[in-house]
Chains A and B, each alone.
Chain A
């Protein structure tokens, strides 16, 4: 007698991805058809009649749905297809084009709008193809300055952007796949352009902005509050997200010195930053990286101001 062979078992691809799931859903299509009556005491009061279908367009067409719309959309696209590329003027030639974008700053709204950066021998244009819109346009001769700038993106990467200013006072921030190449091509096309050298990268010691605790003196005793501290050429500023105005403003000339002291810190490492100021006396701060803050603060301290808290009217030398 032969041994019974193991029965064949259906198997399943052990790896199903979300993309597969969506594909199956769209290929098969799903239809929801709902009729609903809400009644009270057998008297219908509210009626719901819901019809919904989701499927890939190919499946939709198979079932004869949305056919007309599909045709009219494609016919419309056919007619407008000619207007997708940049229209060059007579005698104008394209120098370079690359993917990029333009930072729209309009009232409260700020946002990058992607498009293609086109540089011709006459114009610099950022064009979005679909839906077609000229995001930024300036004549090469109308540009006053171009400058490379560095900014930090959400994920902490440093990106180089191109800041352009026109003769009539407009400025714009552009991104481009190759900002250095664009910068070079622009200065080559318009030698009269003031090509400012790349803006120096803001050294961490020059401009620090991060979470900072401030021990606010109150009648009931000092109170630690969390907020954002910013140290820059304008001095130290601390503001809580709950306050309308910064609670602490120390101009650079008023900073006498800073050092680290052991103390109870909300950051949890037992170190607080003590800042000596001219008019506000001792200010106690705490940060995740107290040493970095203390060094940056000490670097801004006016070197020649004598440590004389009893004479707050000591003239601070202009740095």
Chain B
């Protein structure tokens, strides 16, 4: 599948792409934060600060997307990337798919 970036407005497309990547990084940060929190290494104060900062980051991202009217394009692009990954992983763990594709 191909990623479609709205070529009518390059700025719009580039911004959506950047925000999608930032979202991926943010998701990774959130999941790692969860692991660190469960690791039990952090103090109470650090936990609170981390939670606040991540929440603020989330809010800021939502606001930027809203601000520029690209919430749906970012969601679409994110879904597109997920599909690409799904496809690749599917092919990697399932070599039978290659034959299927070749036979098509």
Does A22 reach chain B (CB closer than 8 Å)? Answer: yes
Contact A156 B28 (CB under 8 A): no
Closest A residue by C-beta to B59: A99
- State the Cβ distance, B83 to closest chain A Cβ, in Å: 9
In which size bucket is the chain B interface?
35 or more
Contact A18 B59 (CB under 8 A): no
Chain B residues positioned under 8 Å from A27 (CB to CB): 35
Beta-carbon contact of A19 and B27 below 8 Å = yes
Contact between A18 and B24, CB atoms less than 8 A apart: yes
- B27 near A15 with CB under 8 A, answer no
Q: Is A16 an interface residue (CB 8 A)?
A: yes
A2 interfacial by beta-carbon distance below 8 Å: no
Cα distance, A192 to B70, chains bound together (Å): 40
CA distance A81 to B31 in the complex (A): 24
B59 and A26: CB pair below 8 A? no
Residues of B within 8 A of A (CB): 9, 11-12, 15, 24, 27-28, 31-32, 35-36, 39, 41, 45-46, 49, 53, 56, 59-60, 63, 66-70, 78, 81-82, 84-86, 89-90, 93-94
**Which of A's residues lie within 8 Å of B, judged by CB?**
12, 14-23, 26-27, 56-58, 61, 74, 77-78, 81, 99, 114, 130, 153-157, 159, 177
Q: Nearest 10 A-B pairs (CB), nearest first?
A: A155-B69, A155-B68, A157-B69, A17-B82, A56-B32, A19-B27, A58-B35, A22-B28, A18-B85, A154-B68
Q: A18-B81, A153-B68 are in contact. List 18 more A-B contacts (CB 8 A).
A: A12-B93, A15-B82, A15-B86, A17-B86, A18-B85, A19-B27, A19-B31, A21-B85, A26-B31, A57-B32, A77-B49, A81-B49, A99-B63, A114-B60, A154-B11, A154-B15, A156-B69, A157-B69
